[in-house]
Amino acid sequence: MNSSSVSQHRYPHQNEPAWSKSEKAIARKAFDAALERELQEVIREAKQKAGQIKEPEDLWDLEHYLTQRRGEIDRKYDYRYSQLDLVFGRLLREKWIDEEDLRGLGEDKLRAIRSYAKFFAGTDPA
């Protein structure tokens, strides 16, 4: 089953193409890998920040950093099929995944994902 064969199956309440079983497996793997990479990066940064703590203020900076990163990650990693194009677009833009991780997704999805990646490139802080 490829994506075009299921493109006429719509979720009742949404307008995006359904995800085939093999696409779901690819998506799950890419999603989990990205999350793991990003969490490892937070661990690395947190250890570094902790190592540099000198003043009490640095402690609360670390707390703030962790709270912020947790919230950001919670919001970003939204595994709803209705959101996945956008999520992968962002992860692609932020280099937590590359196109290789997405190989096997239907062309319709890849197009949407690339388009979101471009959108996020435009919203990056200067």
For a second copy, the binding residues (CB under 8 A) are 39, 42-43, 46-47, 49-51, 53, 56, 58-60, 62-63, 66-67, 70
User: Which residue, 43 or 121, is less far from a second copy as judged by CB?
Assistant: 43
Instruction: Work out how close the CB of 97 gets to a second copy at its nearest, in angstroms, rounded to a whole number.
Output: 18
Look up residue 86 and give its two tokens. Answer: 């956008």
What whole-number distance in Å separates Cα of residue 10 and Cα of residue 27? 18
Who's near 92: CB < 8 A, 6+ residues apart?
A: 98, 99, 102, 113, 114, 116, 117
Residue 84 CA to residue 59 CA, distance in Å, equals 36
Shortest distance, CB of residue 33 to a second copy, whole angstroms?
14
Burial 97-124 (b: 16+ CB within 10 A, else e): beeebbebbbeebbebbbebbeeeeeee
Q: Which is nearer to a second copy, 58 or 99 (CB)?
A: 58
Q: Measured from the CB of residue 120, what is the shortest distance to a second copy in angstroms?
A: 24
Shortest CB 80 distance to a second copy, Å? 21
Measured from the CB atom, the residue of 2 and 68 that comes closer to a second copy is 68
Task: Give the nearer residue to a second copy in terms of CB position, either 18 or 42.
Answer: 42
C-alpha atoms less than 13 angstroms from C-alpha of 79 in its C-beta half-sphere: 11
